[in-house]
Amino acid sequence: MDMQVTPAAHDDGYLVCVATNGQMKLFVSEGNPHCLKALAALEATGVQCGVQFVNHDERVVPFLSRPTLPALALPSGQYLFSSNAICRYLFEVNGQECSELCDQWLEWEATVLQPALQQALHMAVLQGKSSEVSKVLQGPINVLEQSLSKRNTPYLTGDSVSAADLVLWAGFFPVLSDSSLTLGEHKSLKAWFDRVAAMNACQSAAQKVLQGKGLQGMKSYMQRQPAPQSSQCRETQPCNSNSEEGGERVVSEEEMEAAALTWSKGLNTCPPATKKQHPILPQEDKRNVLVTSALPYVNNVPHLGNIIGCVLSADVFSRYGRLRGWNMLFVCGTDEYGTATENKAREEGLTPQQICDKYHAVHSSIYKWFQIDFDYFGRTTTEKQTEIAQDIFWRLHERDFLIEDTVEQLRCENCQRFLADRFVEGICPHCSYPEARGDQCDKCGRLINAVDLREPQCKVCRQTPVIRSSKHLFLDLPKLESQLEQWLEKSTSTGDWTANAKQITRSWLRDGLKPRCITRDLKWGTPVPHADFKEKVFYVWFDAPIGYLSITANYTSEWEKWWKNPHQVELYNFMAKDNVPFHSVVFPCSLLGAQDNYTLVNHLIATEYLNYEDTKFSKSRGVGVFGDMAKDTGIPSDVWRFYLLYVRPEGQDSAFSWADMALKNNSELLNNLGNFINRAGMFVTKFFEGCVPVMELQEEDKKLLALVSWELQQYIQLMDKIKIRDALKHILNISRHGNQYIQVNEPWKKIKGGDSERQRAGTVTGVSVNIACLLSVMLFPYMPAVSQTIRDQLNAPPSCINTMLEGNGTFVCSLSAGHRIGAVSPLFQKLEADQIEALKKKFGGQQVFDSAAVPAPAAAVEVGTVNQVDPEKAKQLTQAVAEQGEKVRALKAQKAEKAVITAEVAKLLDLKKQLALAEGKNPEPAPQKGKKK
Amino acid sequence: MALRELSSLEKYLGQKKANKYSTQGDKKVPVLQNNNGPPLVGLVTIACHLAKEAKRPELLGDTAESRAVVQQWLEYRVTKLDSCTKEDIKTVLKDLNLYLQDKVYLAGNQFTLADVFVYYGIHPVIVDLAIQDREQYVNVTRWFDHIQRYPGVRHHLPPVAVLRNRIYTSRHH
């Protein structure tokens, strides 16, 4: 992942300086067969152009990193670096445009002949295997021979020489003119070749380039060429096709027998995993796994990004871990201290504590709806937090890891407060980006000290803040750096750190660590216990990660068994990538410096970003989906979980799209997964009176068992490595295999046949319903409710759940012959296009206009076609619009802060939009110039 | 693949009558059955033929120079891009990135077939790039995003998110 250093081409010593002055110039090198083409074309056309011979490894074309010759510098300063394009150009300048036939030959030469020639020349010139040359060239030679003899014209495209003749002649020249190569009798080819070769232009070009040395003249050129690839090139696959679906894996005999053997083993006799017993504590003989997800900040309603980035990913993994029989503890909570809370409190006219109480409840209920199965969901504003944070502080202080320094801080006299980093904006001192934040520049990514910003502005009132000094404490990161590096080396090499987590951490270390301020001039925070810093609180970066410990301490008084027990406990941190440095550098330094045998992170799992449709997520414009709105969509929590996990930004950014969500629901859940499970259950019910039939495995069934077992193994390998999105694909592959199996075997027809056919229908049905049972187990981490529903419908024995995910995965027959299943019903519902369109509109948001530019409802004359008219809702909304309108007018009359007014106007617009929808009108402002699209 | 590209091009050109294609050889080189003459073979050759037939010669460049540049990139597509290995990809991206530094389109200021087919060819590469790499090759990304949003071009390919539009803001402050 090392960043490639790209030297500016213009600094490169090799680069040949070209003074074009509007003159053309052709650059060629001796012994380069491609230069034959260009020189021959130049002479044949008589175009005025300077020629310069250069060495093979001189870079003439400024934008190409590998030396490429010939190259033609055009009067405009552009370069042509393809010999065929150069020939084509020279002919066109001379008034001979390429015909379609000429086009075709040129394309054939580049795509078919050249790869074969390169291989042939490589063998003949460098490997001395002249005898094999004819084999390689036979195909292209035959094509040319046939075409020439069929057309019966002197030249390739007709009666006169074209660019194609020179290009193909030059291609064949080295091999056809060398008497040591025997290429067989090709009458038409020979006649054409001799005709072209007799031209003065060709003779002169050949002399210049090869100087009569034949193949040996090309040796130094050939030595510099990369060895030709054999014909296996990377086939450009249509990337929207799922490669896993395409190729059928070849299954070996052994695999089939192994799968059949496992199948026959049946369920574990050991009792299924018992219910969780709180408090969960590390156990001697178990794998003890502590899972945290980044603490969501309390003043915001979490949105889809938060949910997939942290809590949902961590939930899937801890559910999976429990199935694997690991001893898991999953903790999380709201991060409640800091300026943003103070600010929100001011906005809503509440105390910070009231804000935290209010939003903590909001978070809790959202996560509950998403079925996030925390063992404990706490908060940071507790006594334990103060106790533990102050303890860590004193330990750092005693060990001399804190430095005192005076800090210049920005204070807005107008707002009467010190400005937190995010409340100041200005010009980046590094890259001059005009909208850099006080802590970091969004453009160049560098960290910024707020006072270094040029032309700083208070984000709330746009006044220029003043610099005030204040005494603060710093964590001495440089002093801890070598310890940190040692620990990181070990943790990243033995644990599962995502690539981005490693990369971000490395880049922090590469830049060198600097002391980091851990105190702030605020009220709402954990108080600094030191007498000299009485009025100050801990900065959230220092304080918030300690929340993991204090939240666990609120869960159990024996919290230290988790957090001061690195030998027994493995710690997994889940987060979005913007949080990485604080979990990989800053917090570990606090804990290392405190020297109290803390459990440090072993596995750091960071997601990339999730985009929303094509537009930027915006709170003020109401664009995007927030956690509390997801349930109002009427789409089940399990389907939300499925889709978010399906597009989990794992390894790269991804996008949430309504249309795609509907598509995945309808194609993967409904038609693939749901369809298979439902069919399997329905066959048992309809054809076998609800009892699983006797199964006698044949080759084909064993092959399916082997395919399914392989997918199961992949799933387990990926889940162990927290590749959650990738693992999900293997679940869907299993049901795809299952559907094919049913489709091919047609049990609904066989059941009407004779005894042996009925027996076959029984086996196919029995195997299918057992696969459905396996799927319910594999689905459990992703879709817990659906998973339970399937097992209820199949009346599956509870022990199936801990049997199948043992070891590398064991697909056993858990519903044996005679097992009675329950009532079967469909699992998923179709998402209709109009439903999705309405949701897209609802959450799509509108531009925020200045209130003066807000289109009056009457302007929205176009009537939407898909909107449902809802008079009751319209009534309520009319009321709400009136109230909100009053509020905005009042704020304006009071000359309230612009940010506040803007936010309220946004709410008003959103209400108006909803009202328009409820009235069946199109909420879009009438387009000014015709319709889009 | 090539056939899907050609059918997307036909749609872009607004051609109503469906052309008949077949393929040739292991590499599935497209072949156009031509009523008025012998069949045309090769992606580039057929694409240029379609543009001429649709009376859109500007798509092939409007000067001798730009026509050569367009042909050069079309050739680059079917040679370099289509056979590039994992190791080559970095070079390809680096070169293109430098080339596109001062250009809107591959042939300068004018949208041409070169943009269409290099876009089709490079799509799988861009899909596989990590976001960090997409940011490293910022000119390629800019051009790519521009072309994928060019009306009527994208057709058979899924859109690739190349910009960081965060759905959520960072939790701290």
Q: What is the mean pLDDT of each run of 10 residues along chain B (173 residues)?
A: 86 82 84 82 94 93 94 95 84 93 92 95 86 82 91 84 56 41
Residue numbers of A between 191 and 230 with CB closer than 8 Å to B:
229
Where residue A781 falls among pLDDT bands split at 50, 70, 90?
Answer: very high
Residues of chain A in contact with residue B166, where contact means CB-CB under 8 angstroms, are: 305, 609, 611, 616-617
User: pLDDT by residue (tens digit) across A787-832?
Assistant: 999 999 999 998 888 888 888 899 999 999 999 999 999 999 999 9
A881 vs A480, higher pLDDT? A480
Q: Can you say whether residue A903 is alpha, beta or left, with left for phi > 0 and alpha for psi between -120 and 50 degrees?
A: alpha
Domain assignment of residue A422, yes or no: no
Q: Which residues contact A560 (CB under 8 A, 6 or more apart)?
A: none
Average pLDDT over residues A211-227: 78
Torsion of CA A383, A384, A388, A394, to 10 degrees: 20
| Helix, strand, coil shares, percent, chain B, to 5 | 55, 5, 40
Cα–Cα distance, A628 to A643 (Å, whole number)? 17
* Same domain flag for A616 and A764: no
Question: Which token pair is A454?
Answer: 């040029």
Cα–Cα distance, A886 to A908 (Å, whole number)? 10
Average pLDDT over residues A136-147: 88
Closest CA to A519 of A554, A481, A470, A579: A470
Nearest residue on chain A to B91, alpha-carbon basis: A65
pLDDT of residue A134: 80
* DSSP conformational letter for A856: P
Q: Which residues contact A667 (CB under 8 A, 6 or more apart)?
A: none
For residues A329 and A273, the answer to whether their CB atoms sit within 8 Å is no
Cα–Cα distance, A823 to A820 (Å, whole number)? 10
Q: Is the Cβ pair A616, B165 closer than 8 Å?
A: yes
Question: Cβ–Cβ contacts within 10 Å for residue A85, how many?
Answer: 25
* Same domain flag for A201 and A343: no
pLDDT of residue B34: 74
Delineate the domains of chain B, giving CATH numbers in brackets: 2-148 (1.20.1050.10)
* Same domain flag for A217 and A297: no
Peptide bond into A70 cis (omega under 30): yes
Q: Is the Cβ pair A240, B159 closer than 8 Å?
A: no
* Same domain flag for A207 and A335: no
Q: Check which CATH number belongs to the domain holding A579 and give it.
A: 3.40.50.620
**DSSP element (H, E) containing A255:** helix A253-265
Cα–Cα distance, A283 to A280 (Å, whole number)? 9
pLDDT of residue A151: 83
Among A293-297, A454-458, A591-595, A840-844, the minimum mean pLDDT is found in A840-844
Residue numbers of B between 6 and 25 with CB closer than 8 Å to A:
none
Nearest residue on chain A to B5, alpha-carbon basis: A238
Distance from the Cα of residue B10 to its chain's centroid = 14
Residue numbers of B between 111 and 130 with CB closer than 8 Å to A:
121, 123-124, 127-130
Q: Is the dihedral of CA A135, A136, A140, A141 positive or negative?
A: negative
Question: Which token pair is A406?
Answer: 């005076």
* DSSP conformational letter for A241: S
Where residue A623 falls among pLDDT bands split at 50, 70, 90?
Answer: low
Q: Is the dihedral of CA A730, A733, A737, A739 positive or negative?
A: positive
Domain assignment of residue A642, yes or no: yes
Q: CA-CA distances (angstroms) from residue A633 to A603, A625, A630, A839?
A: 35, 10, 6, 7
Cα–Cα distance, A292 to A844 (Å, whole number)? 32
Q: CA-CA distances (angstroms) from residue A687 to A128, A682, A750, A766?
A: 72, 8, 11, 11
Residue numbers of A between 445 and 504 with CB closer than 8 Å to B:
499-500, 503
Q: Angle, to 10 degrees, between the axis of helix A587-594 and the axis of helix A383-398?
A: 70
Q: Is the dihedral of CA B55, B58, B64, B68 positive or negative?
A: negative
ipTM of predicted complex: 0.93
Domain assignment of residue A352, yes or no: yes
* Same domain flag for A217 and A365: no
Strands A654-656 and A610-612, sheet pairing: parallel
User: pLDDT by residue (tens digit) across B132-170?
Assistant: 777 788 899 999 999 998 888 888 888 887 765 555 544
pLDDT at A307 over 80: yes
User: pLDDT by residue (tens digit) across A258-290?
Assistant: 999 999 987 876 655 567 889 999 999 999 999
Closest CA to B44 of B89, B96, B81: B81
Q: Is the Cβ pair A617, B165 closer than 8 Å?
A: yes
Minimal C-alpha gap between A652 and chain B (Å): 5
Closest CA to A656 of A669, A642, A638: A642
* Same domain flag for A147 and A201: yes
Where residue A2 falls among pLDDT bands split at 50, 70, 90?
Answer: very low
Domain assignment of residue A435, yes or no: no
Q: Angle, to 10 degrees, between the axis of helix A100-108 and the axis of helix A163-176?
A: 30
Minimal C-alpha gap between B56 and chain A (Å): 15
A440 vs A311, higher pLDDT? A311
- Of A572, A598, A627, the last residue of a domain is A627
Q: Is A2 in the B-facing interface, judged by CB distances under 8 Å? A: no
pLDDT at A183 over 80: no
What's the structural domain count of chain A? Answer: 4
For residues B64 and B23, the answer to whether their CB atoms sit within 8 Å is no
Which of A85, A499, A615 lies at the smallest CB-CB distance from B165? A615
- Of A169, A202, A223, the last residue of a domain is A223
Domain assignment of residue A152, yes or no: yes
Residue numbers of A between 99 and 118 with CB closer than 8 Å to B:
100, 103-104, 106-108, 110-111, 114-115
Q: Is B172 in the A-facing interface, judged by CB distances under 8 Å? A: yes
For residues A19 and A141, the answer to whether their CB atoms sit within 8 Å is no
pLDDT of residue A867: 38
Q: Is the Cβ pair B78, A107 closer than 8 Å?
A: yes
Q: Check which CATH number belongs to the domain holding A176 and give it.
A: 1.20.1050.130
* Same domain flag for A112 and A198: yes
* Same domain flag for A614 and A649: no
Residue numbers of A between 497 and 536 with CB closer than 8 Å to B:
499-500, 503
For residues A130 and A215, the answer to whether their CB atoms sit within 8 Å is no
Q: Check which CATH number belongs to the domain holding A655 and give it.
A: 1.10.730.10
pLDDT at A679 over 70: yes
Q: Please work out, in degrees rounded to the nearest 5, the angle formed at the alpha carbon of residue A838 by the alpha carbons of A837 and A840.
A: 65
pLDDT of residue A178: 75
* Same domain flag for A674 and A622: no
Question: Which token pair is A847?
Answer: 């531009």
Question: Which token pair is A913?
Answer: 């939009």
Q: Which domain holds residue A128?
A: 9-223
Strand partners, A607: A576
Residue A535 has phi, psi (to 5 degrees) of: -80, 5
Give the 3-state DSSP-derived string for A335-358, with helices as H, strands as E and coil as C: ECCCHHHHHHHHHHCCCHHHHHHH
Question: Which token pair is A588?
Answer: 């570990």
Domain assignment of residue A492, yes or no: no
Minimal C-alpha gap between A647 and chain B (Å): 12
Residues of chain B in contact with residue A65, where contact means CB-CB under 8 angstroms, are: 91, 94-95
Q: Is B49 in the A-facing interface, judged by CB distances under 8 Å? A: yes
Side chain identity at residue A607, one-letter code: T
Verdict on whether the full-model pTM lies above 0.95: no
Q: Which residues contact A254 (CB under 8 A, 6 or more apart)?
A: none
A364 vs A239, higher pLDDT? A364
pLDDT of residue A651: 84
Cα–Cα distance, A67 to A471 (Å, whole number)? 59
For residues A538 and A428, the answer to whether their CB atoms sit within 8 Å is no
Burial zone of A477 (CB within 10 Å; 0-12 exposed, 13-18 middle, 19+ buried): buried
**DSSP element (H, E) containing A675:** helix A675-687
Q: Is the Cβ pair B165, A6 closer than 8 Å?
A: no
pLDDT of residue A873: 66
Average pLDDT, chain A: 85
Domain assignment of residue A931, yes or no: no
Which of B65, B72, B167 lies at the smallest CB-CB distance from A624? B167
Cα–Cα distance, B52 to B60 (Å, whole number)? 8
pLDDT of residue A515: 92
For residues A542 and A549, the answer to whether their CB atoms sit within 8 Å is no
pLDDT at A575 over 90: yes
Where residue A626 falls among pLDDT bands split at 50, 70, 90?
Answer: confident
Question: Which token pair is A458?
Answer: 């208070």
* DSSP conformational letter for A158: B
Q: Is B72 in the A-facing interface, judged by CB distances under 8 Å? A: yes
Q: Is the Cβ pair A239, B127 closer than 8 Å?
A: yes
* Same domain flag for A644 and A623: no
Average pLDDT over residues A546-557: 97
Domain assignment of residue A449, yes or no: no
pLDDT of residue A80: 95
Cα–Cα distance, B136 to B89 (Å, whole number)? 13
Q: Is the Cβ pair B172, A617 closer than 8 Å?
A: no
A638 vs A181, higher pLDDT? A638
Q: Which residues contact A644 (CB under 8 A, 6 or more apart)?
A: A304, A307, A308, A312, A656
pLDDT of residue A725: 95
* Same domain flag for A868 and A790: no
* Same domain flag for A877 and A897: yes
Give the 3-state DSSP-derived string for A858-879, with helices as H, strands as E and coil as C: HHCCCECCCCCCCHHHHHHHHH
- Of A770, A803, A836, the last residue of a domain is A803
For residues A790 and A779, the answer to whether their CB atoms sit within 8 Å is yes
